[in-house]
């Protein structure tokens, strides 16, 4: 290699390739100096300690995620990758994140807790509860003083003044802040007074550094939100601030004022919705009435509807002729029966035994039974002989002869 002559470009690109592959991700702690923000939005600075220094660049997109102002003399921890810049033959740190040096341990604790809770399913979307559309009572857990509670109160008063607000005052930073926030969430889940039961909770505070927001990155607060049976809206810090409480909550709001807007409906929109619903119901009802009237008119004009009337008219006409028809039918029936009776009477007359007796015949009756032969009579039997004009009692004195 010593015998090979390299151009400046070749050497530089070899160094670039080796250096960038060796340090794809590095974390550097140092003091800021020569910090300058370019008109393009990029920030150029130097990180140094008492023995060395390294140029660093924060691109515009990365800079928007930094929640504090960079200034000379500030000790920070920068994370990123090494890059060799061939035109000037120097290497520099391309920063992907910058935090204050004192926040390094907090950042590490945040990452560990984030990993633990994610594994336990605390951030799963399917477990998040729906925020009620029209709550009757809102429980707010925040500081009783300052702009946060005032801003939220104004928003709620403007949007939906009918809702009841219950404040559980807490400290939002400091050693006992996390414990007080947890106590507030637990209270609204099991209030001492049933009248203090809330439909939705808002956990809120204003912006600040990661250390200021630490109470909302504590496991006890995350646990309280996760176990809450009441839906929780988290509104901690500004839009760019993300806390563990935000991720566990059922809904995250960028600011406390936005949380207040999300918690209640807009009364103007609500009244318009009700008015639209009333108009819609009225239109639907009128359409149903019009349709019913058309159906009734159609039925009234239909053959099926008018047929009963036509039949009634026909039956009425028939009814008027019923007496005459009935009399004719009765007379016809009477004549028929009279003829039948006369014929029957004539047949009965022909069969009358008295007619036969008139021709010289007689009947012999013994013990109420007619005798049909001489063998049925014995000597001394008493019998009656029936003639056409009467009967004679006799006694048998002789033996029957054949």
Q: Which two tokens stand for residue 375?
A: 């063998």
Q: Which helix (H) or strand (E) holds 261?
A: helix 256-263
Q: Is the pTM of this model over 0.85?
A: no
Same-domain check for residues 254 and 140: yes
83-87 CB contacts, 8 Å cutoff, 24+ apart: 83/16, 83/20, 84/12, 84/15, 84/16, 84/19, 84/20, 86/9, 86/12, 86/13, 86/16
Q: Tell me if 245 is assigned to some domain.
A: yes
Distance separating alpha carbons of residues 216 and 218, to the nearest angstrom: 6
SS3 59: coil
CATH number of the domain where residue 233 is located: 3.40.50.261
Banded pLDDT at 303 (limits 50, 70, 90) = low
Residue 293 tokens, joined: 């009237």
Last residue of a domain, one of 67, 83, 107: 107
**Same domain flag for 232 and 163:** yes
Q: Which two tokens stand for residue 221?
A: 């607060």
Same domain? For 195 and 156 the reply is yes
Is the same domain home to 18 and 66? yes
Share the mean pLDDT of the chain: 88
136 lies in the same domain as 224: yes
Give the end of a domain, one of 67, 82, 107: 107
Confirm whether 171 is domain-assigned: yes
Task: Calculate the CA 299 to chain-centre distance.
Answer: 40
The conformational region for residue 158 under phi > 0 = left, psi -120 to 50 = alpha, else beta, is alpha
Q: Is residue 113 part of a domain?
A: no
The model's pLDDT over 191-213, given as tens digits with 9 standing for 90+, comes to 989 899 999 999 999 888 777 88
Is the pLDDT assigned to residue 103 strictly greater than 70? no
**400: in domain:** no
**343 domain-assigned:** no
- Distances in Å between the Cα of 337 and the Cα atoms of 185, 326, 329 are 106, 16, 12
Three-state DSSP class for residue 200: strand
Contact call for residues 181 and 224 (beta carbons, < 8 A):
yes
- 373 closest CA partner among 363, 388, 381: 363
What per-residue confidence (pLDDT) applies to 47? 94
Same domain, 134 and 166: yes
Q: How many domains does the chain have?
A: 4
Q: Which residues contact 293 (CB under 8 A, 6 or more apart)?
A: none
Q: Categorise residue 261: left if φ over 0, alpha if ψ from -120 to 50, beta otherwise.
A: alpha
**Of 254, 287, 314, which one is at a domain's C-terminal end?**
314
pLDDT band at residue 104 using 50, 70 and 90 as cut-offs: low
Residues 258, 135 share a domain: yes
Residue 378, helix vs strand vs coil? coil
Query: Cα–Cα distance between 103 and 270 in angstroms, integer?
Result: 45
Domain that holds residue 301: 269-314
Strands 75-85 and 90-100: antiparallel
pLDDT digits (tens, 9 = 90+) for 224-248: 999 999 999 999 988 877 899 999 9
Whether 131 and 187 map to the same domain: the answer is: yes
Do both 149 and 243 map to the same domain?
Answer: yes
């Amino acid at each position: 290699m010593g015998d090979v002559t390299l151009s400046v470009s070749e050497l530089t690109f070899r160094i670039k390739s080796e250096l960038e592959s060796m340090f794809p991700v590095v974390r550097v702690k140092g003091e800021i100096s020569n910090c300058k923000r370019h008109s393009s939005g990029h920030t150029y600075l130097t990180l140094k300690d008492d023995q060395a220094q390294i140029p660093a660049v924060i691109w515009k997109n990365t800079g928007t995620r930094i929640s504090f102002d960079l200034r000379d003399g500030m000790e920070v921890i920068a994370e990123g990758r090494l890059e060799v810049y061939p035109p000037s033959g120097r290497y520099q740190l391309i920063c992907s994140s910058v935090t204050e040096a004192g926040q390094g341990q907090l950042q590490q604790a945040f990452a560990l807790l984030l990993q633990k809770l994610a594994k336990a399913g605390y951030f799963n979307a399917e477990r998040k509860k729906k925020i009620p559309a029209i709550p009757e009572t809102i429980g707010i857990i925040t500081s009783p003083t300052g702009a946060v509670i005032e801003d939220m109160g104004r928003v709620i008063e403007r949007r939906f003044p009918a809702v009841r607000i219950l404040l559980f005052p807490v400290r939002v930073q400091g050693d006992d802040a996390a414990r007080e926030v947890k106590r507030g969430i637990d209270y609204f889940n099991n209030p001492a007074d049933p009248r203090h039961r809330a439909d939705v909770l808002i956990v809120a505070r204003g912006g600040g550094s990661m250390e200021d927001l630490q109470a909302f990155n504590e496991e006890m607060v995350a646990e309280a939100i996760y176990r809450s049976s009441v839906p929780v809206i988290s509104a901690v810090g500004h839009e760019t601030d993300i806390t563990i409480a935000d991720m566990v909550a059922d809904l995250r709001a960028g600011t406390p004022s936005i949380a207040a807007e999300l918690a209640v409906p807009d009364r103007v929109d609500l009244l318009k919705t009700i008015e639209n619903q009333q108009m819609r119901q009225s239109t639907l009802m009128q359409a149903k009435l019009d349709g019913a009237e058309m159906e009734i008119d159609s039925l009234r004009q239909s053959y099926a509807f008018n047929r009963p009337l036509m039949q009634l008219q026909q039956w009425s006409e028939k009814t008027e002729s019923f007496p005459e028809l009935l009399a004719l039918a009765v007379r016809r029936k009477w004549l028929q029966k009279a003829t039948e009776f006369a014929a029957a009477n004539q047949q009965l007359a022909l069969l009358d035994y008295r007619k036969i007796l008139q021709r010289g015949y007689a009947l012999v009756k013994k013990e109420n039974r007619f005798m049909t032969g001489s063998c049925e009579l014995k000597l001394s039997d008493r019998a009656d002989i029936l003639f056409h004009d009467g009967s004679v009692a006799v006694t048998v004195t002789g033996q029957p002869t054949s």
